[in-house]
Structure formats: C-alpha cells, structure tokens
Amino acid sequence: MSLNAIEVIPSNQEEMSSPEPGLRRQVMSYSPNMMLVRHTMKKGWVGARHSHPHEQMVYIVSGRIRFEYPGGPFEVAPGDCFLVPGGVEHQAAALEDCEVLDVFTPMREDYARP
C-alpha cells in the first residue's frame, strides 16, 4: 500500500448518524476485513438485544456501560475492553454518557458509507 492510499478520517460530530434515540454513530475506517466505528450514547440509552455474525471488540473511551450476554451481565468503564464473539446475543445500556470504539471483523456492510 502506498502512502497516498491512506485516508485520514477525523472524529467529527457532524458526520455521526443517529440510528436510534440516544445513540450516535460515526463509521471511521474500514476494509473488507475489519471496520472501526465510534459510538456515543446518552445516559439511559438501552440498545436492542441483538446478535450479528461479526466478531466485535469494544473499547470504552469514556463513561460506563452495562453489558448483558448469555454469560451474565457486567459493567465496563474507561480503558476497559472486551470481545464479543460472532453470533452471541448481547445488549448494552449506558449508565453515563459514553464514547465507545468498536472494531468489527469482517466489516459490517450494513454500516458502510455509501
């Protein structure tokens, strides 16, 4: 890969979509093999329980989240990281205003920029 092929994606509030109330999403960089997504959540947000075939690595930048999956609930705080295997049903809730970085592999076509 040449240096000219690298695209810098700045963190930008105006570029964030609002897929549901209390949740904002900015798709950062991605290739067919992986995707980096920035999420912000308002305190009190509760995501829908769901699963997807992608592995998901979650890094908590700020705030606290309660995460539920078949192994039981747990809470995470800034600096914490965890891995959600593909196909595992899970749900997250924001205990405070939060910022989270998610890495998906392979990339999520449903999140890809047009």
Question: CA 78, CA 62: separation in Å to the nearest integer?
Answer: 5
> Residue 74: how many CB atoms within 10 A of its CB?
12
Measure Cα distances from 37 to 4, 19, 69, 92 in Å. 23, 13, 21, 16
Report domain 36-104's class: mainly beta
- pTM listed for this prediction: 0.89
**pLDDT tens per residue across span 27-84:** 999 999 999 999 999 999 999 999 999 999 999 999 999 999 999 999 999 999 999 9
